Amino acid sequence: MNEVAMLQSYLTIGAILFGLGMAGFLVRRNVIVMFICAEMMLQGVSLSLIAWGRFHNNWDGQMFVIFIITVAACEAGIALVLVLMLAQKAGNLDIASWQNVREEGWSPFIDKEVPEELDPAEEWPSLTTAGVKPDKEPSRYRSKV
């Protein structure tokens, strides 16, 4: 395999890693998954830098990757503290829970109002005691599953 084809393969895999990480970071709301996606983006950049360093026969790409690994380790430490603080204060790891963890006097930012659920409470069938006829005929199918 020649050097240009190998560089193209590494850059393609690095771009796929970065794209998957960015899509996951923008779509997901779980704090842990968001930090894992940020790590995936850093790994995609690292792979691309190492590929360019190998293609040009110098150590610049590998030196940048060492700095990226250092930044990723710092990010992991900060992420652990943030996740523990959010889990302790809010009770869950949904990023929307950060709205309640803020300084006093600051109103929460609301991007979109969540519509209230309008479905009436549905009665689920229950078994009657043995030998007693039910009050009404039970429906065979539920309206929503």
Q: What is the distance between the alpha carbons of residues 45 and 88, in angstroms, rounded to a whole number?
A: 33
CATH number for 3-99: choose from 3.20.20.60, 3.40.50.1110, 3.40.50.300, 1.10.287.3510: 1.10.287.3510
**pTM for this entry:** 0.62
Q: What is the distance between the alpha carbons of residues 125 and 138, in angstroms, rounded to a whole number?
A: 7
- Sequence ranges of the domains in the chain: 3-99
What pLDDT does 122 receive? 66
pLDDT exceeds cutoff 80 at 71: yes
What pLDDT does 136 receive? 67
Residues 134-144: tens digit of each pLDDT: 666 666 666 66
What pLDDT does 121 receive? 66
